Amino acid sequence: MTTAATPSRAPDPELIDTSPSGEGAWIVLPTYNEAENLAGISTAILGALPRSTLLVVDDGSPDGTGRLADDLAAADPRIRVHHRPAKQGLGRAYLDGFGVALAGGARVVVQMDADWSHDPATLPALIGPVVEDVADLVIGSRYTAGGGVVDWGIVRRVISRGGSQFARIVLGLAPHDLTGGFKAWRAETLATIPFEGIHAGGYVFQIEMTFRATRAGARIREIPITFVDRRIGQSKMSRRILVEALFVVVQLRAEELWAHVRGRRAVAAAGATSPTTPNDPPTDPSGAPRPDRS
């Protein structure tokens, strides 16, 4: 006896996991004295994007973060470690990590902090617009609708938001959060940015990379995030980093304006020195000069 086949039902869309798995994504995670955070944050990152690659970039941490990273990598092939001999600035650590990720065949490159201030659970939403080919750079934004900051005093809030607003005005940029470091890059877009000459400081690195991407025509989106102050350890923000950022923002705009002026002068000079066409007598179709009938 045969039984009638049960009609197939389309799966409930609410039960389908459509979030990116992270295949082709590399998460670049700079560390310096993050031994207390590294194991937990690594587990959370790979839990959010199980098919991604986590690249720990350690700056010779004296607390043993680099050795711990090596142990984690030995136990999980999704984790890789890039050792740098000493602390050379957050921006330089990111640029070195970007180079390793691009050379490794990354299609999406994520940058984030190791101190839990960036929630790993947000990673699928962060890389989503790049995976869906609607953005080349996605910024996890504290200052767009739905975003926010937890556990910051009023002074730090004013400094951070004021710095972003200052850079937006001076550089003519659209994103609201220019000083945050939670970003997802399309690999091709990241590869077009010349790393030589990029300033390596914390705030200014974030601003300049978004500035370079904007001038290169990148499609940029912001998604709201809630930034939580680091759980363990001390913040690496300083007054020097802030002053450097403000100075470099002005410098970037001045260099851009000067390049524009030089370009206009070069065009004008080329027009002024171009040779004039002599008044040769007209020629017939055979190429022989026609007689002057004047």
Q: Is the dihedral of CA 145, 147, 151, 153 positive or negative?
A: negative
What's at 13, amino acid-wise? Answer: P
* pLDDT value of residue 291: 47
Q: Which residues neighbour 274 within 8 Å (Cβ) at sequence distance 6 or greater?
A: none
Of the candidates 221, 75, 230, 70, the residue with the CA atom closest to the CA atom of residue 144: 221
Q: Distance from CA of residue 152 to its chain's centroid?
A: 24
Sheet holding 53-58, edge to edge: 79-83, 53-58, 25-31, 108-111, 183-186, 137-141, 220-224
* The model's pTM: 0.80
- Judged by DSSP in three states, 11 sits in coil
What does the radius of gyration of the chain's CA atoms come to, in whole angstroms? 26
* Domains, the chain, ordered by start: 20-253 (3.90.550.10)
How big is the CA angle at 67 (ends 64 and 72), to the nearest 5 degrees?
125
Q: Distance from CA of residue 113 to its chain's centroid?
A: 13
168 within 8 A of 176, measured Cβ to Cβ: yes
- HSE (CB half, 13 Å, CA atoms) of 293? 3
Which residues in the chain show pLDDT less than 70? 1-19, 200-202, 230-242, 265-266, 268, 271-294
* pLDDT value of residue 8: 37
* pLDDT value of residue 14: 42
How far is 59 from 30, CA to CA, in rounded Å?
Answer: 8
Phi and psi dihedrals of 83, rounded to 5?
Answer: -95, 135
How far is 35 from 253, CA to CA, in rounded Å?
Answer: 39
Of the candidates 258, 246, 186, 254, the residue with the CA atom closest to the CA atom of residue 217: 186
